[in-house]
Structure 1
Amino acid sequence: MTKIFYLGGHFVQFRSQLKKQHILLISFFLPIIIMGAYFAYRSMAPFGKSTLLTVDLGQQYIDFFSYFRRTLLHHPSEFIYSFSKSLGGEMWGTNAYYLWSPLNLILLFFPAAHLSSGVLVLTLLKYGLSGLSFAWLLTKNKLQSGIRILAFSTAYALNGWIIANQLNLLWLDAMIILPLIVWGLHQVIFARKFSCYISWLAIVVIDNYYMAWMICILTILLFIWQLPLINAWKARLQALGRYILSSLIAVGISCFVLLPTIYSLLQSKGTYTNNHIRSHFEYNPLKLLAKLVPGSFNFNQMPSGQANIYVGMLMIFGLTLYFLNRKINLGQRIIAFLITAFFVLSFCYEPFDLFWHIGQFPVWYPSRFSFIFCFWIILLAATCLQKEFQPSKCQLAILLILTLATFTYVETLTVSYINNSQKFIGLGLAIVSIIFLGIPRSASPIMSDLLLVLIATCDISTSAYTALNQISYVSQPEFGEYTTALNNATTKVKHIDHGFYRIAKTFMRTKDDPLQSGFNGGDHFGSTIVPSLPAFMGAIGQPAGDGFVSYDNGTQVTDSLLGFRYTMAVIDPDRPKPFLPLSGYRPDWNTQKPIAVTNNIGIRKNTAALPIAFGANSRILNSTHDTYDPVAYQSEIYQDLANSPKPLFEVQNFNQVDFQNVQSADQITGSVFKKEHQSEGASMKLEIIPTTNDSYYLTIGPNVKDDASITVNNRHFSQYQTYRDTVIMNVAHHQKGQKIIATFHLKHSELWMQNVSLYRLNQQAFNHDLKILQRSPLKLSQASATTLKGTVNIKKDQGVLMTTIPYDKGWHAKIDNHPVKCQKVIGTFLALKIKPGTHHVTLHYRPPYLVTGMIISLLSLLSALLLSQLNRRRVKY
């Protein structure tokens, strides 16, 4: 008989575990089904011809994913350094922000042209794992049980933050890991167990240090919240010691990624840290009430707006009832209220906002930490809305009053991201939720639990669908056709030339095309680009800004200096519905040697391109940037390298200027032209008749782009539109005696012709200097992303091995097996002092502090194992 009861007990336990597993599985698949249905409805690839690609996901992250896939399969060394990152840059710290998520391995199963389908699968998986993670937390801490868990896990998986930021896939892992860290913290405080907390905190720091910073702040707040549950001060101090020790060990384990990344940030993004913190509110905190309406999000909320915190009416009411629930420890409720107030203030009070964002105002996507507030709301709601909890009539009346007051206030606001339908739906959901909370669960427990899940799921799903309907996306043909064309062209070049070189082009889908297709280019858009590179590129006439560079406005001089051995241009730019968006115009490429044609892309070889390293005169060591004229600066650099006295460019006059509906002027450069008749069009036609077959270039100041559109011989001039420095337009090459008309069409009432000047390249002087610089190339015997080896024969008038590798302390050099110091020249590039004669040169890249970080990580890991072992002995005895 005893045996039968014993077996029966095991059977009951097994059924209980089986039910838990079922709930966890449903919590994983329910968000996937909800969002998968929406994506299929919107015809997202692979369900149709649209994609999830939009804003940064379509303009940046998708290219990083392609780089990740290609690098992992073919070129692992590029995880450390890549010459596809503009002219070259470290990737260890870059990957720590963008790519260390292990879930990215899913992308290996999707070819480049269909990577958008992989992104959809990855997005759905992260939705599902977020729901599963939160359900697991509720199961472990026994806050909820059974089917009720699904109401809270689904609200968490589809909260307003994740919907607004699903395009920021790199951040979503934090949603998955956060509940696991919270459970681990609970174990550290109350069970003296460390492994869960240390493991997951280390993982989130490695996965994405930026989101990890925010989670670390939350662990401090959660620890304080739990203090009232520990009676003795001695026990509290012991718990604090365990928390600090385990946190330090977790961070220490991640140091092999963290230390090199911190160094990288200090050289790049960290230089933009705000040092002038003002004590003021960025907006009225009451404006956040509009975010309590379902679907309160649109495109305009991306660059600037309020925190996306919608989690469903039941969860919001659960938060409110938590503070009114006398069965919950008063000390905890007071602390929870203060923490909630701190969150709300952080959304709009500048010092707190900067604190969460590591001292920098977010560039787009404000209040990036609001996923933590969503978690906090749902956690408190789950704590309050227990099975046995029944709000009083007074509490329900308070909820109704607060609801009516909120929607009355929202009605007075003029905001673009909510309409009347959303307000009525939100009010309806609020009233339904209040009615549901007023019905005793004891009347029908199963029906009550089902209604809880139904209301919460319908509420959060409606909000998600409404918000996402207001965003536009890139089509699959637009992405796939361009990717195929670019990959085919770069593959063709690689089959022709297996050496080390750069490729320039005059079309662009994104500034990370080189990373996407795996070639050495001159473009990049990313958070970890060092400021010196945009500064240099802008100084030589290229579009550049904080975080990006784009090589669209080169000259024969910069093509040669930076080693662009191959060029790619669209053959037929007038083809209907072109899938190769133009970004530049380079007639000076027309006389280069044709190599191949593929997918409407013409490939040519630039025989004037210099190698990655070459012998140069020592004058370059003392070269300074003392001009704002990009043409003059190019000439100065080339002259210093070749030790040449003759400038490469000569100022030219326009042959004739035709003024239409503006006043005439003898001087064009720097003049301000105003419309004479405001209702009519106005323009200035600058006539150029080249007297030689040399290349002619027109410089244009950044203010011109805002006030004028430009045509060359009545055809729109293709130009990347974002730039902050004077750029260079190539308007003629090998067109002696041919009339060229550059027309500036006024967009507004006046136009400042900022830095508009015409220059001719002295081809003879350029060829002379080029011949000097081509005498001593570094002949590479080995070339990879992190190692360059070769021999060079330095002439008597040369004392420098000049490279066009951006200077980085991670580069180490040897000449004839003897270490030498790397020099920084023209504020940008790496160079080596070298004596005349034949030398063997080795350049090797290692991320700064990587070795130190690895040692700390190993010691921390050993500490974690020792701590775990000591804890086991304590439990045993």
Structure 2
Amino acid sequence: MKKTVFLVVISSFALSIAAHSFFLSEWANGRYMTGNGDGIAQMVIFKSFLYEQYKNGHLFYSYSFGLGGGIYSQLGYYFTTSFVFIASIGVVVIMQLLSLVGPADTLFWAQASVFISVIKLALIILITTFVFLHMTKNKLAAFTGAAIYGMSIIYFRHTVFWEFFSDTMLWLPLLVWGAEKIIREKRPGLFITACTITLFNNFYFAYINLLFIVIYVLFRWLIRFGQEESRWIQFRIFAISCLISFGISAVSFVPAVYGFLNNLRPAYDQPINLYDFTDNILFSSRTVVLPAIFLLFLFVVSFYKNKMFCLFASISGLLMLLHFSPLAASAFNGFSAPQNRFEYLLSFTIGGAVAAGLSQFKHIKRKEIVFSSLLVLLLYFVNIQDKEVDLSVVMNWRMLILLFVTIMIFIIVRINYEKTYLLLHGCILVTAILVANMYQQYVLSEGSEIQSVSKHYLTSNEYDGEEQRALLQKIKKDDGADPYTRIDWMNGVRNNTPLIQNFNGFSVYSSILNQNLLLFYWKDLEIDMGRESVSRYATMGDRANLYSLLYGKYYMTEKKDEDDVPYGFQKMAESQHYVVYKNNHILPFVRTTKTVFSEKDLNKEPVLAREHAMLEGIVLENPDEKVKPPQVSDLLKETKVKTKGASYKNDVLNVSAEKGGIDLIPDETIAAEGDYYVHFYLKSLAKDQFFNLQVNDYVTSRKSNQSIYKTGIYDLTIRVPKTEKISIRLPKGEYALKNVKLYQEDYQTLKKATLSTASTAKMNWERNKLSISLDNKNGDRYMVLPIPYEKGWEVTVNGQKQAIQKANYSFIGFNLEKGENDIQLVYYPPYFKETLIVTIISLAVGIWYSMRKKKLGF
């Protein structure tokens, strides 16, 4: 057994290295195995960010994540509890202690991606080999089947674009092995362990894996390997084991799921078809290409007498049908927009079927060889005649050659099995290696432009340049190392720039965000981000009031965009391509007030009135006492409206020119200083049109009505510096344009707030605990902080626990006492204390239950 384990380990790593040949050669040339989209916009950034957080003991919360957020709840979908990532941290720490590597920044994680993938794939093949060996009792067949699974194209697609996606391929075989242990031996220990790891590691793929296990167990109940397999006993053990697993994983699973449920994403409102057969899984699919050996085995009738082959072939047939169903893709994606992310399940069952077929290969009849070969050749011939087939995956017919070679060897080996059976295994493995490397080169690197992810690009001004970092250092020097200062700077459309360049910013890009903040941007304050998206927020729409309220001291931009600088910001530094401005009207981080406004009263008021309310006091959902909202006048009655290259009637704007719209010309008597706030409802009436909206020099993009990433928000407010004419421009098309309103902001309210507010608070923020000492001499009733409101925060004032209120639509507020106030704010992930108790108890129960079953002889 030791010899077998050693041989499988060596073989798995050798196979994994061979499967990564293309990306290893790319690494040697300074190009990396990570996507040029989410790969460098999220994956390497979050790994670098979380590495520093964990290394410094910041396990629960980060003020630097966007406007601030919980790590478990908002990054649990990514790497927060990923065992592969946690193991990587351990290795990197050791390597840094030995001075083998430098800082673990984004460049480091991009460079390390191929080596992490090599190890991960080797482990997938290793684990799956022993799972299949447990079922087939044939070492070589088990290893080859495991290789089919591990080296499937979806592994490389997932690893390159969304690295943590492929982690789940490690846990799926363990789940199946655990299920078999319950079915055959009534022993739940392995299943509890595998299920707990899956739930702890990633809640999203735990859902997909457990959905598959339900399908697997149902098929196993139909295809029983022995008469002693009692379904009722199995059901009882599965139910108890799942409950225990959920309990053990509760401390990780519950906060992550809470974060997912507390996210805000509009319901997918497009029709979802039952089936769509346009994808070609023989040649050109981007997620699964069926191995020729699997198809050859599929048509060997005698193989179906083998229970394992029948099981895996049957499930594969079902999953192939589901691959062609957008409705199934939606179901596997939590009944949201269809996403083909579950095909690794099909790759696993295909590997299982191949392993079972190889273990039975010597019993195949020659006439079955001929029948199967002819059918598969006919299938390929029919598909290759399809003019719509994209041959970019096979490139120069190389895959077709491999397919025919496989069929020939399939025939030859059966004629003289004893002498040539190794040839078939070798052909399958070599074919899988070649397909994997061709897919990496032609589909991923060249087809998806992964080759652009290089050291040169990752250290350039387009991503993370020295010129930008030098200016950021000047800001920190000017600021006196204030740890709470926020800088509005984003490199192009990279919302995670603050995480890359290590400063507190106003932007973030993540699939899961605090819904209170998203509502703050989308509805409460109608802050335009320059780019419509459900998974991002950015900037403050160049609105000076909001920067001051949220401790935004600095504004950095490219010199070509200097016209958009917010009011009251003064130039303080510049370089060849960039310029930095400093806010002259900054408000203190800690603000106290007696004046209270009601959200409900402000709902009917324009967003400018809401800004004024936050500057004058605090806005609460249900205050005991309140004052009337500030009043802001609509200037549209004093404004001329003219069309340009368009017609405007009955709230419909029909743009006939390449770029047209309307002009708003305010009365000349309106004061010159300050800004305009232009509000309107805008929606494209085209079925599918992405477009840019331009208001004077300000440009923002809007998603197509069919996009799964559109916000469904059409009420916009755009800040425009004072000017004689406000031009709203759109590309040719038809739009719903209504509720146009115009307001002026002279910033007197901001100036008054700046002059009248002086904070005497002393603060100390260590990890997840913020301590504030304040002498409330004015007898103010409330304190408000620019820290986002979310579940997990607890506050005590002078030792007494207080309720945290949602203040200013999305931030923390609470009651104060007269005189001295000793305030302690502590953050833990949602339900952390309760779930930690559940985890400990469930772990004890799980150990007892597994040992009890073992003592009973199961």
Contact 1:630 1:726 in 2 (8 A): no
Q: Which whole-Å deviations, capped at 9, do the CAs of 1:639-695 have from their partners, x for residues lacking one?
A: 5549687657874899999976556x8x9x9673543xx6x7767777899953434
2:23–2:440 Cα contact (<8 Å) kept: no
* Correspondent of 1:210 among 204, 207, 213: 204
| Cα distance, 1:849 vs structure 2 | 1.6
Question: In the alignment, does 2:254 pair up with 1:259?
Answer: yes
Query: Does the 8 Å contact 1:653/1:758 carry over to 2?
Result: no
Following TM superposition, by how much is the alpha carbon of 1:408 offset from its aligned partner in structure 2, in angstroms?
1.8
Match of 2:85 among 79, 92, 104: 104
Distance in 2 of aligned mates of 1:51 and 1:455: 22
Q: C-alpha separation between the residues in 1 aligned to 2:369 and 2:602?
A: 70
Which runs of structure 2 are paired with 1:321-720 in the superposition (5 Å)? 321=300, 324-329=302-307, 339-349=315-325, 352-362=328-338, 366-386=339-359, 387-394=361-368, 396-405=370-379, 407-409=381-383, 411-412=385-386, 414=388, 417-418=390-391, 424-439=397-412, 440=414, 441-468=417-444, 469-473=446-450, 474-476=452-454, 477-481=456-460, 482-485=463-466, 488-495=470-477, 496-505=480-489, 507-539=491-523, 540=525, 541-543=527-529, 545-570=533-558, 572-573=559-560, 586-588=564-566, 591-592=569-570, 594=572, 596=573, 600-627=577-604, 629-639=606-616, 641=618, 647=631, 651=635, 661-662=645-646, 672=653, 674-675=655-656, 692-698=672-678, 703=683, 710=694, 717=698, 719=700
Contact 1:615-1:795 within 8 A present in 2 as well: no
The CA deviation at 1:339 is 3.2
Q: Distance in 1 between matches of 2:646 and 2:237?
A: 75
Structure 1: distance between partners of 2:770 and 2:153: 48
Q: 1:352 deviation in Å?
A: 4.3
Q: Which residue of 1 aligns with 2:123?
A: 129
Would the alpha carbon gap of residues 400 and 427 (structure 1) be closer, same or farther in structure 2, given more than 3 Å must change? farther
The correspondence of residues 12-411 of structure 1 with structure 2, limited to 5 A, is: 17-18=2-3, 20-35=5-20, 37-40=21-24, 43=26, 45=27, 47-48=29-30, 52-74=34-56, 76-77=57-58, 79-99=59-79, 100-105=81-86, 106=88, 108=92, 109=101, 110-146=104-140, 151-166=144-159, 167-227=161-221, 228-229=223-224, 231-232=226-227, 235-268=230-263, 281-284=273-276, 286-288=277-279, 290-293=280-283, 295-297=284-286, 308-321=287-300, 324-329=302-307, 339-349=315-325, 352-362=328-338, 366-386=339-359, 387-394=361-368, 396-405=370-379, 407-409=381-383, 411=385
Whole-Å separation in 2 of the counterparts to 1:461 and 1:59: 25
Superposition pairs of residues 729-768 of structure 1, within 5 angstroms:
729-732=718-721, 746-748=730-732, 759-768=743-752
CA–CA separation in structure 1 for the residues paired with 2:794 and 2:203: 27
What are structure 2's unaligned runs of at least 5 residues? 93-100, 620-626, 704-710
Which moved further from structure 2: 374-383 or 153-162? 153-162
Q: Relative to structure 1, is the Cα distance of residues 758 and 121 closer, same or farther in structure 2, using a 3 angstrom cutoff?
A: farther
| Equivalent-residue separation in structure 2 for 1:161 and 1:700 (angstroms) | 45
Tell me the distance in 2 between the aligned counterparts of 1:94 and 1:622: 26
Question: SS in structure 2 opposite 1:85?
Answer: coil
Given that residues 256 and 853 in structure 1 are in contact (C-alpha distance below 8 angstroms), is that contact kept between their aligned partners in structure 2?
Answer: yes
> Per-residue deviation at 1:372?
0.8
Q: How far has the Cα of 1:233 moved from its partner?
A: 5.6
Query: Are the equivalent residues in 1 in contact too, given 2:302–2:364 (CA < 8 A)?
Result: no
Query: Are the structure 2 counterparts of residues 49 and 625 from structure 1 closer, same or farther at C-alpha, using a change threshold of 3 Å?
Result: farther
Asked if 1 retains the 8 angstrom alpha-carbon contact of 2:73 and 2:260, the reply is: yes
Amino acid at match of 1:809: K
Instruction: Write the deviation string for residues 212-233 of structure 1: whole angstroms up to 9, x where unpaired.
Output: 2222223333334444445446
**Residues 383 and 428 of structure 1: CA distance in aligned 2, closer, same or farther (over 3 Å):** same
C-alpha spacing 1:407/1:653, structure 2 compared with 1 (3 Å) = farther
The answer as to whether partners of 1:164 and 1:467 remain within 8 angstroms in 2 is no
Contact 1:639–1:645 (Cα < 8 Å) also in 2: no
Code of the aligned partner of 2:762? L
Mapped contact 1:319–1:381 kept (Cα < 8 A): no
Does the residue aligned with 2:773 lie in a helix, a strand or coil? strand
Structure 1 799/830 Cα, relative in aligned 2: closer, same or farther at 3 Å? Answer: same
Range 453-462 or range 93-102, more displaced: 453-462
1:789–1:842 contact (8 Å) kept in structure 2? yes
Equivalent-residue separation in structure 1 for 2:394 and 2:245 (angstroms): 48
Residue 6 of structure 1 corresponds to none
* C-alpha distance in structure 2 between counterparts of 1:750 and 1:246, whole Å: 58
**CA RMSD between the two structures:** 3.9
Q: Distance in 2 between matches of 1:420 and 1:567?
A: 46
CA distance in 2, matches of 1:613, 1:90: 21
Taking a change above 3 Å as real, the CA distance of residues 402 and 629 of structure 1, as seen in their structure-2 partners, is farther
With 687-696 and 825-834 compared, the bigger mean Cα shift is at 687-696
Cα distance, 1:162–1:783 mapped onto 2, change above 3 Å? same
Q: Which runs of 5+ in 1 are unaligned?
A: 1-15, 298-307, 574-581, 734-738
Query: Secondary structure of the residue that 1:161 maps to in structure 2?
Result: helix
What's the offset of the Cα at 1:818? 0.9
Percent identity over the alignment is 17
TM-score, reference length from structure 1: 0.81
Q: CA deviation at 1:522?
A: 2.4
Counting matched residue pairs gives: 805
Shift of 1:197: 3.1
